[in-house]
Structure 1
């Protein structure tokens, strides 16, 4: 089952205990409604086709990895549709932040595993050439497919 959030609106200024957002919820290519959270710590709200929501929720519980609050316990919980929406929102925010960072900077990872950044000041190609010259083994996130760059970006805790 393909679950997506589209038309995401995020209000960082209003996010307190939870993310304040609204989005269209799509399941298998069909919009089933809207999901939102006011950012004050409560559950997400859903408006739309409740039967489709229930089916997607059951699918998530049956097919997505279980999670635990504490690694020292055997107690696990189902990943429900609300949690999946939270994961999708988090992924969207991380991708947005990476794209913004790459718009102003060149991000690269050296063989030591650390990620560095330099402002390119409108001279992307020159900055990339300089990094390649000075650090030939560096991986330049700006030149990678987005998914590959995101995998590295997530490891630095920048998101």
Structure 2
């Protein structure tokens, strides 16, 4: 089952305890409704085909990996939790795309941290300068986006 959020609208200013967002929820390419959260710590709300939502929720609980709560108890990944993860993934990808537009993003092999250098529309020259100063650095701008995203996520996740 392919579960996707499309047309995500995110409001950072209103995100307090949870992400404030709204999106179209699609299952196997078919829109079943909209999902969202007000950002104040409450559950997600869903409007649309309740039967399709229940089927997707049951599928998530049966097929997605469990996660561990603060008390150490393993919990099922329900559709609401999965949608929250999809929003987080979208935010990380958006942040990387923004950084790559104006900066050279490199991963230093010595400490594994990411560093950003503004390229001022001189991307190749900036990359060459970074590589002179940091031989062996991995330049995320030169990688396929999926690979760059994996490195970016690993370095920016707690």
Give the TM bin, normalised by the shorter chain: over 0.9
TM-score by length of 2: 0.93
Q: Report the Cα distance in structure 1 between the residues aligned to 2:157 and 2:101, rounded to whole angstroms.
A: 15
Offset at residue 36 of structure 1 (A): 0.8
Partner of 2:12: 12
Match of 1:99 among 97, 100, 103: 97
Equivalent position SS for 1:41: coil
TM-score by length of 1: 0.93
RMSD over aligned Cα atoms: 1.5
Equivalent position SS for 1:93: helix
Equivalent position SS for 1:47: strand
Partner of 1:61: 61
Equivalent position SS for 1:111: coil
Q: Report the Cα distance in structure 2 between the residues aligned to 1:126 and 1:115, rounded to whole angstroms.
A: 19
Equivalent position SS for 2:21: strand
* Residue correspondence of structure 1 range 74-89 to structure 2 within 5 A: 75-89=73-87
Offset at residue 146 of structure 1 (A): 1.3
Q: Report the Cα distance in structure 2 between the residues aligned to 1:158 and 1:139, rounded to whole angstroms.
A: 18
* Residue correspondence of structure 1 range 94-133 to structure 2 within 5 A: 94-112=92-110, 113-133=112-132
CA separation of 1:8 and 1:142: change in aligned 2, threshold 3 A: same
Q: Report the Cα distance in structure 2 between the residues aligned to 1:57 and 1:145, rounded to whole angstroms.
A: 32
Equivalent position SS for 1:156: helix
* Residue correspondence of structure 1 range 42-61 to structure 2 within 5 A: 42-61=42-61
CA separation of 1:142 and 1:158: change in aligned 2, threshold 3 A: farther
Q: Which runs of 5+ in 2 are unaligned?
A: none
Equivalent position SS for 1:25: strand
Which consecutive aligned stretches of 4+ in structure 1 deviate over 4 angstroms post-superposition?
none
Pairing 1:40–2:40 present: yes
